[in-house]
Structure 1
Amino acid sequence: MIKTSRKGEWLEIVIPEKWTSYCVQDLFRTIWHAPKKLTHSLRMEKGVRVNGQPADWMVPLKRNDRLDIRLFHEQEFGIQTAYHELSILYEDDHLIVVNKPANMDTHPNSPNETNTLANAVAYHLLSKGEYRHIKHVHRLDHDTTGAILFAKHPFIGSILDQMLEKREIKRTYLALVHGIIKVKKGTINEPIGRDRHHATRRRVSPSGQKAVTHYEVLKTNHKQKLTLVKCSLETGRTHQIRVHFSHIGHPLAGDQLYGGAPLFSRQALHAVKLQFIHPITEEEIICHAPFLDKQEIFTGVDPYTI
């Protein structure tokens, strides 16, 4: 674990033994893979210091050197702030993980929209005196519930984007589907594209984007002919789990857009766990998202055991 602390606008990192062969430029390029534009800006604005002095980016660092990076200056939120009750699963100076309720978008689709999770997160930060340009790292559908990750500043946002693309952020979902799935573990590897006959639907299409969903059967209800499955994604296509299970003849309960019966007022899909290595501290972060839905779609399931 990397020892860090916040000093006003600056993040202080105590250089560990394993970084003593690196210079500052190596850290930005090799360890963090920071964007060139952001790195150049920090360099030109003297936004990096070593032991209190402007950094020489090419000099090797020594153990216990103090590396300071100016990450926490005030920024416009980029969206309107609006109060909504939040269920926060994890938060530090760099990122926040929130448990999204049903009937709420992840982020605004128009400047005047305020009934989204991003608006609520912005209000939460404002109430703490943190003026940050927040960014969602991934999204959930309007009626899908569970854990969503937001970045608090561009540096961490760019690193988390790369981690998501490399599948280094593990997202686990629970879905309740129609029918009894007999194969206990499986993978659905089918490309997904737009449905040209319906504005919001997606469908399995040979010309679509690669989409891979892994699943494991957790419970079966033969009386109601329902199966509870745990899913993990290699890709993050729109409606991916919903499209894939509908394609194999097991649409999600409540998901009328993809052939599910209206057992509930929404599709039975919950992002139950988010797991990753913190890109700054290298600490393992595991967030379990409890069920907020009053419909009790996943009755008898303990989210903390998934």
Structure 2
Amino acid sequence: MVKIQRFGEWCEITVPSGWEGYTVDYIFRTIWSAPKKQTHHIRMQKQVLVNDEPANWALPLHEGDKLKLQLFQEEEFGVIPTYHEIEVLFEDDHLLVLNKPSGMDTHPNFPDQNNTLANAAAFHLQMQGEYRSIKHVHRLDRDTTGAVLFAKHPLAGAIMDKKLEERAIKRTYLALVHGKPLQKKGTIREPIGRDRHHPTRRRISPKGQPAVTHFELIEPHGNQDLTLIKCRLDTGRTHQIRIHLSHLGHPLAGDVLYGGKPVFPRQALHAVKLETPHPFTGEPVTSHAPFLDIPEIFKGIDPYLF
């Protein structure tokens, strides 16, 4: 287990036995998969110390050594900090997980936009006296609710980007679909591309990007012709779950863009759980997202069961 603590702008990591003999260069490039440009900048700015001395990046480390990284300098937020009521699901010095409501973009689509989750995250940091650029690691559609992961400094952001690429970050969604699929569980592997005839719609396309959705039936929902389905993603294409389940013949309830009936004012899709290894300790971080708005969509369902 990696012991980590913060001292002002510095993050101190006590070198564990598993890192015995590794160099600082190896940790950055291989263990953390930090980008070369970012690693070079940190190295040139002498933002790494070993036992309070400037690090020699080529010397082996020993168990118990104190590896210090200057990670918490003040910087521009990158977005306009704006108050919005938000629910924090997890937070430490490196990561922030928020429960996104519907009707809110994950991040601004133009410089002056201030009504997104990223704006709310920046305001949250500002109120804590943290002046750093916050970065979303993944996104949710405007009307999809649930857990969204942010990185609170660039190195954490780079590490989490790599973990997302390696599918180490697991995202579980709940969806209410029309009808009942014949399969109790299955995998949809259909590439997704843009729809040339619609500005926001996507479609199944042989020339599109690879997309993989795993699904599992949970239970019928009340007296309506709806079924609760759990989904996990191997990829994160725009509208992926919505398109794949519609392709299966069971569009999301409320998702009129992809063939759903308007039984709800939005698509019935919620990112109920997010699981990720911590960027520095490697310990699992699990966040469950309670249902925020329009609770009748997932009425009677316990988000902590998934």
TM interval, shorter chain, is over 0.9
Question: CA RMSD for the aligned pairs?
Answer: 0.9
Matched residue type, 1:158: A
CA distance in 1, matches of 2:274, 2:194: 27
CA distance in 1, matches of 2:132, 2:229: 37
Identity of aligned residues (%): 64
CA distance in 1, matches of 2:38, 2:296: 45
For 2:110, the equivalent position in structure 1 comes to 110
How has the CA–CA distance of structure 1 residues 222 and 104 changed in structure 2, closer, same or farther, with 3 Å as cutoff? closer
CA distances 1:217-252 after superposition (whole Å, capped 9, x unpaired): 000248421110000001100000000111111000
Matched residue type, 1:267: Q
Q: Is 1:231–2:227 an aligned residue pair?
A: no
CA distances 1:8-45 after superposition (whole Å, capped 9, x unpaired): 11110000111112011111111111111111111111
TM-score calculated relative to the size of structure 2: 0.98
For 1:176, the equivalent position in structure 2 comes to 176
For 1:294, the equivalent position in structure 2 comes to 294
Q: Is 1:191–2:197 an aligned residue pair?
A: no
CA distance in 1, matches of 2:35, 2:209: 26
Q: Is 1:146–2:161 an aligned residue pair?
A: no
CA distance in 1, matches of 2:182, 2:248: 12
CA distances 1:34-85 after superposition (whole Å, capped 9, x unpaired): 1111111111111110001001111111111100011110110011010001
For 1:27, the equivalent position in structure 2 comes to 27
SS of residue paired to 1:275: strand
The gaps in structure 1 that reach 5 residues or longer are: none
Moved over 3 A (4+): none
SS of residue paired to 2:177: strand
For 2:267, the equivalent position in structure 1 comes to 267
Matched residue type, 2:227: T
Matched residue type, 1:270: H
CA distance in 1, matches of 2:155, 2:223: 51
CA distance in 2, matches of 1:151, 1:82: 18
CA distances 1:183-238 after superposition (whole Å, capped 9, x unpaired): 10011111111111100000111111111100000002484211100000011000
CA distance in 1, matches of 2:222, 2:26: 57
For 2:135, the equivalent position in structure 1 comes to 135
Structure 1 residue 295, shift from structure 2 partner: 4.0
Matched residue type, 2:184: K
CA distances 1:236-294 after superposition (whole Å, capped 9, x unpaired): 00000000111111000000111111111000000000001102011110100000013
CA distance in 1, matches of 2:287, 2:76: 28
For 2:88, the equivalent position in structure 1 comes to 88
CA distance in 1, matches of 2:185, 2:295: 28
CA distance in 1, matches of 2:293, 2:220: 21
Q: In 2, are the aligned partners of 1:180 and 1:222 still within 8 Å (CA)?
A: no
Matched residue type, 2:268: A
CA distance in 1, matches of 2:31, 2:298: 40
For 1:36, the equivalent position in structure 2 comes to 36
CA distance in 2, matches of 1:264, 1:295: 11
TM-score calculated relative to the size of structure 1: 0.98
Matched residue type, 2:88: I
Structure 1 residue 182, shift from structure 2 partner: 2.2
SS of residue paired to 2:115: coil
The gaps in structure 2 that reach 5 residues or longer are: none
CA distance in 1, matches of 2:59, 2:83: 47
CA distance in 2, matches of 1:104, 1:45: 38
Q: In 2, are the aligned partners of 1:174 and 1:230 still within 8 Å (CA)?
A: yes
SS of residue paired to 1:172: strand
CA distance in 2, matches of 1:165, 1:26: 20
SS of residue paired to 1:285: strand
How has the CA–CA distance of structure 1 residues 112 and 122 changed in structure 2, closer, same or farther, with 3 Å as cutoff? same
CA distance in 1, matches of 2:281, 2:18: 14
Q: In 2, are the aligned partners of 1:264 and 1:295 still within 8 Å (CA)?
A: no
